[in-house]
Structure 1
Amino acid sequence: MDCATVPSNRAEPSRFAEDRIDGWKSIAAYFGRDRTTVIRWARERALPVHRLPGGRVGTVYALRGELDRWAKLPADGTDAIETVATVATVADAGPALPVARFRPRLPAILAAMLTLVAVPLATLWPAATVSSAIVLPADAAVASRFLMARDLVAARTAASLTRGIALLQDVTAAAPDFAPGHAALAEALLLSREFAQQDDAEAFDRARVAARRSLRLAPDLPMARRAMGFIAYWADHDRAESDLHFRAALAADPDDALTRFWYGNILSDRGDHAAALRELDRARLGMPGSVALMTDYGWALWAAGRESEGRAILRWVEHAHPDFATAHESLSIIALVDSDFAAYARHVARVARLRGRRTLQLDAADPMALRRIVTDRAVRQLERGSEPSPAVAMLIAARTNRWDSIAARLRIGEARRERWGEAPILDWVVRLSPDANAWGARMARRKI
């Protein structure tokens, strides 16, 4: 929508400031809807939103009086509003485009294969949305901290997650009966494992406590169900329990893109590729501009056998966002499948630098030495049973014909009754094996 200019009444600056609502998130909160819905209203139903001049990413605001008058206009029946503060159930017609976008130069093969959702300049993750079912705390300061924390968590950086978790702890202390606060804290803690170097066991334990508190207050809250489904799969390796929670979350809110994103990743991890891609496609409708989602979608395509498409997406992410560690992780696995140990080492070193972790010093100038160092390390891990998820070490061993070490790790797993994820990687181990039927049967017993 072409937005009006800034009002020119200079006589009442304090009144103007008091009446003004800045940003799509705050405008959405005023109506109790999510961000994509109010952007769609601006585009399709002339919601009065103004744009400040200048800047690369359009800054928008609205005036309460104009919003109130707009809300009283006859609706077309799709998103009828009872009052400005009281929200009816939304039947959202579809996703909205972000205000300002850019499209980096794409490889011709990628452009031919799919239409990419463009990525905002200022962030790797779209602003967090708040479901229309959530009623924010009456205390405006607590509500503001909750919304700010959600945006910080959505940014998925170590600093933003640390700050977001601190804000959500404040929120749950100030409003202990606010179930979404506990659920959002659980979500932030789960993300901190990957993006903020939080210890897995501690993060899962704290997230489980927060999610359970949320469910005691609101048994059907989709955010809390999603968190419990995530914990059930990745921490407890309980496929049935995970499905139960995710299906409950989607039954309560079928349009929750983050739930579909997380569930799609789990389906991909366990090898349910067609279902995974369906969920991720639904997530893409609701999360335009998410590099995290595009990266995982590329991996899911590759895992499903659509290898050229998946590679193209991941290479685009690597080129457009070289500091996004998850893309390098995915490309490191693909490099192993290709038996390209130099590329594997390069991506692993990049991930370690980005996440502040130590890794082996690998000399890519000597390919044979590099291959030997990587293999020796994998073999030690397998024979000691030191990695709870041994898929990558098994793939390295398979590429160097160390089937004795893979067999040793399978025996350890059988004795411990372990369950392993990363089915796409384990499936590649089977494909490389000397007897796919025999090795496949043994692997199948260990999969989640």
Structure 2
Amino acid sequence: MPDRIDGWKSIGAHFGRDRTTAIRWARERDLPVHRIPGGKTATVYALRQELDLWAQGGTSEPALAAPPRRRWKAIAAALVGLGVIGGGWFAVPWVVPSAPAETRTALALPGDPAVADLFLKGRDLLADREAAAIEKAIDLLRDVTRRDPGYGPGYAALAEALLLSREFGTRSDRQAFPEARAAAGDALRLSPSQASAHRVNGFIAYWRDRDFAAARRYFEKAIALAPGDAGGHFWFGNILADHGESAEALTHLRQAQTMMPGSVPIQTDLAWALWSAGERDEAVATLNDLARRHPDFAVIHDCLAVIHLADGDYPAYVRAQAQVAELRQNDTLRLRTTALSQALSAGSGSAQKLLLEYAQADLASGESRTAAWTAFVASAARDRSSLLAVLRAAEARREKWGDAGLIRAMRSKWAGDAQVETLLIRLGAG
């Protein structure tokens, strides 16, 4: 359902508000929110069209204005009466009736109501983008695939949850990608016409395999199948930005923002794409504003940390990364930011050296797929000899980077240095 917004936090974000405000508006001001009946914990979602109509002071059409639980019962009863479904009414492919024909996406839920409830709860938890919620979602979605191994959307949702755990949770790439790849492959095999199956495979093709051509094919197929799916434009825009296709990236990210104007992740990644394209001041102003309004969203602080490092502001980098560590509940990052903070007391040189040691260790262990971050850290420290050593070793390994924003920052810092610039051009995607 391209018009559906899952979870209280995402409903609030649609209006630029928090979860508590959304709950209060639903209780006191009749904000149109729906719940799937059954289960110990209600699965909450809203329809964008209804939210926008409510915000404009209008009213939903009578059938949509009924209290949520009664509305679901009425729909189910009507479909049973028409002979469309039997007792397992969760198998209905829900489509927003008023959505344009080209943006409608039918998603058939599992025939077993209990499995359908697990699937919807898992998806609802993902909407919060919180580490603990993502881990719970992974457990629920694994259960969905065990109990209904032929249900393709379950595998796509599991793959997405695992991929999100890299960014918002505690999992490393090595922990998340193998299972995500297997789930994404099952999703595509079982549901080849499902847009999200192509989307998760496109994500893995780029961020794990560094195969931009394959990723583009997957995402173009996903968008063709569901042009109204903000997620397809959002994820593809991120990949394009990383690959240096700035104009096309901004087009897709702005399209996603148009579809989900209150989405904090989309606003954050649009700001990052602007920084990657060289629009530093606009990007920083947007990220600082987002950090003020949404201080619990880790990616905002992560983006700001990288920009601080590019600017050579090590204290600001460490402060931002410490916030990321707490929000992601990442013990390794906590230890590192504490050590970096202590190193700063001895001078920026000590912190620079320690940060480079961390980057080199991650590269040696395989935690970092390429040397782009290690090179960026050396560049930020203005350590030319270390930078050249990293770049030459990466070229010898025939690495091919994305990281357009990092490369742009390094090239700007070393403008006129022919050796550095030549190596960065060879390693870059463009």
TM over 0.5: yes
Contact 1:146-1:171 within 8 A present in 2 as well: yes
Counterparts of residues 311-390 of structure 1 (less than 5 Å): 311-355=284-328, 356-357=330-331, 358-361=335-338, 369-380=346-357, 385-386=363-364, 387-390=368-371
Counterparts of residues 144-293 of structure 1 (less than 5 Å): 144-293=117-266
Contact 2:95-2:104 within 8 A present in 1 as well: no
Q: Deviations 1:22-54 (Å, cap 9, x if unpaired)?
A: 943649xxxxx98335656875761444588xx
Structure 2 counterpart of 1:141, one-letter code: A
SS of residue in 2 equivalent to 1:206: helix
CA apart distance, 1:367: 6.1
The farther-off stretch of 408-417 and 243-252 is 408-417
Unaligned runs of 5+ in 2: 1-31, 38-44, 80-90
Matched, 1:391 2:368: no
SS of residue in 1 equivalent to 2:387: helix
SS of residue in 2 equivalent to 1:445: helix
CA apart distance, 1:213: 0.8
Q: Deviations 1:73-92 (Å, cap 9, x if unpaired)?
A: xxxxxxxxxxx967679683
Q: Distance in 1 between matches of 2:400 and 2:326?
A: 30
Matched, 1:410 2:391: yes
Contact 1:328-1:351 within 8 A present in 2 as well: yes
Summarize the Cα distance change of 1:23–1:434 in structure 2 as closer, same or farther, 3 Å threshold.
closer
Contact 1:145-1:167 within 8 A present in 2 as well: yes
Which residue does the alignment assign to 1:441? 422
Normalised TM-score (structure 1): 0.73
Structure 1 counterpart of 2:140, one-letter code: L
SS of residue in 1 equivalent to 2:338: coil
Q: Deviations 1:269-322 (Å, cap 9, x if unpaired)?
A: 111111111111111122232222221111112222222221111101211222
Matched, 1:134 2:111: no
Q: Distance in 2 between matches of 1:191 and 1:320?
A: 22
Contact 2:93-2:106 within 8 A present in 1 as well: no
Q: Distance in 2 between matches of 1:49 and 1:90?
A: 11
Q: Deviations 1:100-153 (Å, cap 9, x if unpaired)?
A: xxxxxxxxxxxxxxxxxxxxxxxxxxxxxx973211122222112111110101
Contact 2:93-2:107 within 8 A present in 1 as well: no
CA apart distance, 1:421: 2.8
Q: Distance in 2 between matches of 1:192 and 1:222?
A: 21
> What is the RMSD computed on CA atoms of the aligned residues?
3.3
Unaligned runs of 5+ in 1: 1-21, 28-32, 53-59, 72-83, 95-129
Summarize the Cα distance change of 1:294–1:23 in structure 2 as closer, same or farther, 3 Å threshold.
same
Q: Distance in 1 between matches of 2:98 and 2:277?
A: 32
Counterparts of residues 24-35 of structure 1 (less than 5 Å): 24=34, 26=36, 35=47
Summarize the Cα distance change of 1:214–1:379 in structure 2 as closer, same or farther, 3 Å threshold.
closer
Percent identity, aligned pairs only, is 35
Which residue does the alignment assign to 1:428? 409
Q: Deviations 1:149-195 (Å, cap 9, x if unpaired)?
A: 10101211111111111111111112111110111111111111122
Structure 2 counterpart of 1:36, one-letter code: R
SS of residue in 1 equivalent to 2:228: coil
| Runs of 4+ residues deviating >4 angstroms | 37-45, 49-52, 64-71, 84-91, 362-368, 381-385
Which residue does the alignment assign to 2:71? 63
- For these two proteins, the number of residue pairs brought into alignment is 368
SS of residue in 1 equivalent to 2:107: coil
Summarize the Cα distance change of 1:433–1:184 in structure 2 as closer, same or farther, 3 Å threshold.
same
Summarize the Cα distance change of 1:416–1:323 in structure 2 as closer, same or farther, 3 Å threshold.
same
CA apart distance, 1:360: 4.0
Q: Distance in 2 between matches of 1:343 and 1:85?
A: 51
Normalised TM-score (structure 2): 0.76
SS of residue in 2 equivalent to 1:63: helix
Contact 1:142-1:171 within 8 A present in 2 as well: yes
Higher helix share: 2
Which residue does the alignment assign to 1:46? 61
Structure 1 counterpart of 2:388, one-letter code: A
